[in-house]
Amino acid sequence: MLLFALPLAGRAQTAPACTAAPLAVGTVAPAFKGKDAAGKPIELKQLLKKGPVVLYFYRGQWCPYCNKQLSQLQDSLQLLTAKGAQIVVVTPETQENIGKTVEKTKAAFPIVQDQGFVIMKAYNTAFTVDPATALKYKGFGVDLQKANASSDDVLPVPATYVIGRDGRIKFTYFNPDYKQRVSVRRIAAAL
């Protein structure tokens, strides 16, 4: 099983470190509720009544790889919606930063703020960023705690899950290398 955790030496944490590992195909997808950027309630149970759900996790508006992936998703959205899929994107970033993501990517699908990393933890995508990397990000102008309104430096592995109408995971793409993303065509084939 693939695990992804970064060392936390020398840092006092306010919560236990998070480690990430993919959920297996065939398992029941964890239920979740949230609100999209417009304040509209989003609930997995309700979405599955309409069709399969494609669940994306992204790091933040500051991540060029995330912006590229979401722009490609928006450009190819019809490939997925033509198969009846409901698209939901989850991020730890604040509502203000989600607005920046929408501006950059023209996203027309729901983006849910995962305050407290609840959805990310349920889907095993959350991991605690080591102090050296968090400091490096700050040097680039990215303060994870501020961007996510959290006292912890936590990000998701940019994973993608396809959840069938039966509530079971049909497809998982999970790669700790944030530069690698699944193609929309591959997701469409999994539907």
Residue 176 banded pLDDT, cuts 50, 70, 90: confident
Residue 117: CA count within 13 A, CB half-sphere? 25
Average pLDDT (32-42) is 90
Instruction: At 159, list the tokens.
Output: 């994973």
Per-residue pLDDT of 130-143, as tens digits, reads 999 999 999 999 99
Report whether pLDDT(172) > 80: yes
State the pTM of this model.
0.88
Report whether pLDDT(8) > 50: no
The residue assigned the tokens 């992204």 is 58
Task: Round to whole Å and give the CA distance between 116 and 113.
Answer: 9
Per-residue pLDDT of 102-152, as tens digits, reads 999 999 999 999 989 999 999 999 999 999 999 999 999 999 999 999 999
pLDDT at position 15, please? 57
Task: Round to whole Å and give the CA distance between 107 and 72.
Answer: 10
* CA separation, residue 52 to residues 45, 46, 81, 105, 137 (Å): 11, 11, 10, 23, 36
Protein fold of 59-183 = Glutaredoxin (3.40.30)
Average pLDDT (41-61) is 96
Residue 49 banded pLDDT, cuts 50, 70, 90: very high
User: What are the boundaries of each domain within the chain?
Assistant: 59-183
More confident residue, 86 or 13: 86
Tell me the β-bridge partners of 169: 163
